[in-house]
């Protein structure tokens, strides 16, 4: 039990540090790309509402059979892809 608590606490602290860094990095990369920014915002909204659904159903369904968690993972990957798309556009822009 102690090991599990330590692992969970470490993961929580790491995400608490990494999340703000990712948010600011993503915002600066996406600056100047309004459609990518809108897509990023929509993904943030989806992540929020999946979290709300998980909280509302936690006592009845657990964590939605793991599908809610998986959806949140895929949203994270999609946001990373948006950042990569913006980086590609920025590096290939006509000068």
Kindly tell me if the per-residue pLDDT of 19 is higher than 60: no
What integer pLDDT is reported at residue 24 of this predicted model? 46
Instruction: Name residues whose C-beta falls within 8 Å of residue 46's C-beta, 6 or more positions apart in sequence.
Output: 71, 75
Q: Which DSSP state fits 63?
A: T
Share of residues in the chain with pLDDT > 70 (%): 63
**Residue scoring higher pLDDT (36 or 93):** 36
> What is the CB neighbour count within 10 angstroms for residue 95?
2
| 47, pLDDT greater than 80 | yes
pLDDT by residue (tens digit) across 54-87?
Answer: 888 766 655 567 888 899 999 999 999 999 999 9
Q: Give mean pLDDT, residues 29-58.
A: 91
* pLDDT higher than threshold 50 for residue 21: no
User: Of 47, 26, 22, nearest to 37 (Cα)?
Assistant: 26
Whole-number Å distance between alpha carbons of 30 and 79: 11
């Amino acid at each position: 039990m102690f090991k599990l608590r330590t692992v969970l606490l470490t993961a929580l602290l790491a995400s608490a540090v990494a999340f703000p860094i990712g948010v600011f990095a993503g915002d600066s990369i996406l600056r100047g790309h309004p459609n990518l920014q809108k897509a990023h915002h929509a993904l943030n909204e989806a992540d929020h509402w999946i979290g709300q659904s998980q909280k509302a159903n936690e006592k009845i369904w657990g964590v939605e059979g793991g599908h809610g968690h998986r959806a949140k993972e895929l949203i994270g990957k999609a946001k990373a892809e948006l950042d990569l798309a913006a980086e590609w556009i920025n590096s290939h822009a006509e000068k």
